[in-house]
Structure 1
Amino acid sequence: MTALQEVAVVGAGAAGLHAAEALRRAGYDGRLTLIGAEDEPPYDRPPLSKQLLDGQWQPEKLALRSPGALEELRLDLRLGTPAERLDRQARTVHLADGHRVRCQAVILATGVRPRRLPGAMTPLRAAKTPLPGAHVLRTLADALALREELRPGVRLLVVGGGLLGAEAAATAVGLGAEVTWLVSAAAPLAAVLGAETAALLTGLHRAHGVRIHRGAARAVLQRRGRAAGVRLADGSELAADAVLMAIGSEPATEWLAGSGVPLADGVACDANCAAGPGVWAAGDAASWPDPRTGRRRRLEQRTNAGEQALHAARNLLAGPDGARQAYAPVPYLWTDQYGLRVQAFGSPGGADRFELVDGSLADHRFAAACLREGRVTGAVGIGSARALRGLRTQVAAHAPWPPVTHTAEQTAAPLT
């Protein structure tokens, strides 16, 4: 790969940083440009809804690497300058500040953008700005703005029944806010963690004073120039002093329109994380075929961001004639709520059986296999990391349950 002298990584989050580090560790010595839309150097996002939001941590603690470590990577670091266009023919990334970055290869790691409800933006001359009191939680600036709202007695309405909404609700009620959690599903979190674990967490939310309301939000209400709650699909209204919209996200790939990069719920890669000659993708915005099912998948998970970035960088350096490896991760996620860390492998949601292998839900310490049609599709646990790790191999193999055990007679060598 001596001919490769210019590589750009677009996106300065976890995936982008890990890609840059992987390139350097693998021996790439050419020009390496890391492009980020935010002004901050690469930082970790999971603490935004927890330690940063509740004030335990200050922004500097979120930094993924020290200034010295970033310096050692010898990056051409372009922060606060979003990419606006990719010209594949000219091998150039056009930036919002008018500059252009030449690159023989590019790794796309631009992540996702949070969705907002109608009414959450307010016109300001020719542009639109967020309505005061109507929050999302994706960036450091988002978290700091929401943190300013959270004080004892403030009425916070959290819209969205996923992990982000659950974590923010738990953090806010811990700060003394009066929290209403608006969910559309009868069992919030069940699609992610499985029915049993979801029921445990929902019970904890109620026990800590979170009011759970089922309904579908249609628009943010506005009073005196700021958010005052939401209007529901049935025409009713929920009042609040501040609204957090945790209603999902969409890949930040609009800047690739017209570039020839295939887009299908993100950057449509092949099994090797390649999206065309010289173009690779990793992290929240990358979509690739699952080697087991053949269906495309896209993961918005912190662990996946690092693992996929490493994979994309290695395959990039392998060259067109090199030995590339298909990306086949075992998805892993965690969430911290009410002093408990829930960890999960694979896809616990949608299981038709829940098999405890350690502990009990009542004690808030357990590990369990999640089965679908007799096979292990996921595993979930709290405070039982060793037992949970023991299930990872079975999740990866989509193994039948119960596990096959070999007796001494079965494994002994035949007599001759």
Structure 2
Amino acid sequence: MSTLVVVGSSLAGLRAVEAARRAKFDGNIVLIGAEKHLAYDRPALSKASLVGTAPVEHLQSVDALRSELHIDVRLETTATGLQPETRTVQTSTGEVAYDSLIIASGAAPRIPSGIPALDGIVTLRTIEDSAQLRTRLRPGAHVVILGAGFIGAEVASSSRLLGAMPTIIDAAPVPLVRAVGAEIGRALASLHGRHGTPLHLATRVEEYLGRDRVEAVRLTTGEVLPADVVVVGVGAAPATGWLLGSGISLHPDDQGIVCDEFLRTSLPGVFAAGDVAHWPNAGLDATMRLENWTNAADQGVRAGTNAVTPQAMAPYRTVPYFWSDWYGQRIQFVGTAATEDVEFVSGAPQEDRFVAAVWQGDRLVGAATLNEPRKVMKLRRLIAQRGSRHHVRDLLTPVPQP
């Protein structure tokens, strides 16, 4: 009987095993996860769960996977190596043989060099991380956040709601450039100042002060900021260290896994999905790696289906979509920010409602919205349809009332 092994029990891995069963795969499925939890809603870790307004939602139960889908679920099990010659995955609890393998091992927080082992310096990636941070965000607590990306911004917003005093530090002159581009990044960054959160750009922490626990940080500008807690949120790197020596092709920029349009890797029978996967996205004529909830779910489904139906594989193509909530404001982005031809087609950068379009010539390839939830999915469809400037104008022009 054929065996499908999935490494990674978070969202992409969960959707992969579910999709394999929907595709009528009746062989063995083994799901391996390093955490003690099955997949849960990670975006809530820096928002609703952190402020205590809602618990983290678990996306499926282990019992249901085992009894209903007949999945061999192995949590608290770490993948440590891959032997493609024998088609085995080495783990912390022994070898697992596969006929087909899906790598969905996700990403791990980047830790800048020079950070000391002081109490109060934390990262945010797991349920336990969020619970620990919640206890530290007391009213009046000084919170220094390293990184002005989405996680850092969400933590700052949540800190404000809890009465703490956040300050954000980022080494880049403009935040979020990779995700949304420089012009939109500047527009979103202005939300921090409008809601009372200091933002220090083009600045680094030069020294962490404190004996056993962090008490303050000294910036490269010489300024010293009090710090009851330091949250490290400078991004994540693909969790592929366990694949070194396997011969799998890794991307030179970030060690993500190189895939083709079907999410196949360079190794026979091995696919990848989620935060680890680079693939050529025909939806935008670009090769990309995405770290967001929507892509993890959708890519997991496609990898799971392709892995067990080799005679009917389909390419994975998408118009990326992600969202974030800061200070009660809803930010949404679709497409790509790979060009700098940006036009605010509705509203303005300093306003609390806008639509910004990203162009490649006359083609719409990306769009950012602030508090315009009814428009973003229409813009996503336009990107998929290779819509032009006049299509966007038509979309945004109010229909006259009779």
TM-score (norm 2): 0.88
Q: For residues 338-363 of structure 1, what are the alpha-carbon distances to aligned partners after superposition, in whole Å with 9 as ceiling and x for unaligned? A: 22221111124743232426x77777
Contact map agreement 2:7 2:105 (CA 8 A) in 1: yes
Partner of 1:126: none
Whether 1:87 and 2:77 are equivalent positions in the alignment is: no
Q: Distance in 2 between matches of 1:364 and 1:349?
A: 24
Contact map agreement 1:155 1:177 (CA 8 A) in 2: yes
Shift of 1:295: 5.3
Larger Rg: 1
1:73 to 66, 69, 75: 69
Contact map agreement 1:217 1:230 (CA 8 A) in 2: no
Partner of 2:398: none
Matches within 5 A, 1:209-288: 209-218=196-205, 221-233=208-220, 237-264=224-251, 265-275=255-265, 276-288=267-279
Partner of 2:12: 15
Change (3 A) 1:392 1:24: same
Q: For residues 279-304 of structure 1, what are the alpha-carbon distances to aligned partners after superposition, in whole Å with 9 as ceiling and x for unaligned? A: 00000011113437765321001100
Change (3 A) 1:121 1:87: farther
Contact map agreement 1:114 1:136 (CA 8 A) in 2: yes
Shift of 1:56: 1.3
Partner of 2:98: 103
Change (3 A) 1:41 1:395: same
Whether 1:394 and 2:394 are equivalent positions in the alignment is: no
Partner of 2:341: 352
Change (3 A) 1:404 1:363: closer
Shift of 1:185: 3.4
Q: Distance in 2 between matches of 1:73 and 1:231?
A: 53
Shift of 1:223: 1.0
Q: Distance in 2 between matches of 1:227 and 1:348?
A: 37
Contact map agreement 2:38 2:61 (CA 8 A) in 1: no
Q: Distance in 1 between matches of 2:319 and 2:298?
A: 10
Q: Distance in 2 between matches of 1:404 and 1:180?
A: 37
Secondary structure in 2 matching 1:29: coil
Contact map agreement 2:144 2:231 (CA 8 A) in 1: yes
Partner of 2:38: 41
Matches within 5 A, 1:185-224: 185-189=172-176, 191-194=178-181, 198-218=185-205, 221-224=208-211
Structure 1 unaligned blocks of 5 or more: 123-130, 407-416
What number of residue pairs does the alignment pair up? 389
Q: For residues 232-262 of structure 1, what are the alpha-carbon distances to aligned partners after superposition, in whole Å with 9 as ceiling and x for unaligned? A: 4456544311111111111100001111211
Partner of 1:137: 124
Q: Distance in 2 between matches of 1:5 and 1:173?
A: 52
Q: Distance in 1 between matches of 2:37 and 2:256?
A: 24
Question: Where does structure 1 differ by over 6 angstroms across 4 or more consecutive aligned residues?
Answer: 359-363
Partner of 1:62: 57
Which of 13-22 and 285-294 deviates more?
Answer: 285-294
Contact map agreement 1:353 1:372 (CA 8 A) in 2: no
Whichever residue aligns with residue 341 of structure 2, its letter is: D
Shift of 1:132: 1.4
Q: For residues 187-246 of structure 1, what are the alpha-carbon distances to aligned partners after superposition, in whole Å with 9 as ceiling and x for unaligned? A: 433553356654554333223221111233255514121223444445654431111111
Which of 252-261 and 282-291 deviates more?
Answer: 282-291
Which of 105-114 and 369-378 deviates more?
Answer: 369-378
Q: Distance in 2 between matches of 1:156 and 1:296?
A: 37
Contact map agreement 2:281 2:318 (CA 8 A) in 1: no
Contact map agreement 1:118 1:218 (CA 8 A) in 2: no
Q: For residues 135-164 of structure 1, what are the alpha-carbon distances to aligned partners after superposition, in whole Å with 9 as ceiling and x for unaligned? A: 111111111111111011111001112111
Partner of 2:302: 311
Q: Distance in 2 between matches of 1:197 and 1:26?
A: 41
Shift of 1:315: 1.5
Q: Distance in 2 between matches of 1:108 and 1:230?
A: 39
Secondary structure in 2 matching 1:328: coil
Contact map agreement 1:348 1:380 (CA 8 A) in 2: no
Q: Distance in 1 between matches of 2:261 and 2:29?
A: 25
Change (3 A) 1:342 1:228: same
Q: Distance in 1 between matches of 2:278 and 2:249?
A: 10
Structure 2 unaligned blocks of 5 or more: 395-402
Shift of 1:318: 2.3
Whichever residue aligns with residue 363 of structure 2, its letter is: R
Secondary structure in 2 matching 1:53: helix
Change (3 A) 1:260 1:194: closer
Secondary structure in 2 matching 1:173: helix
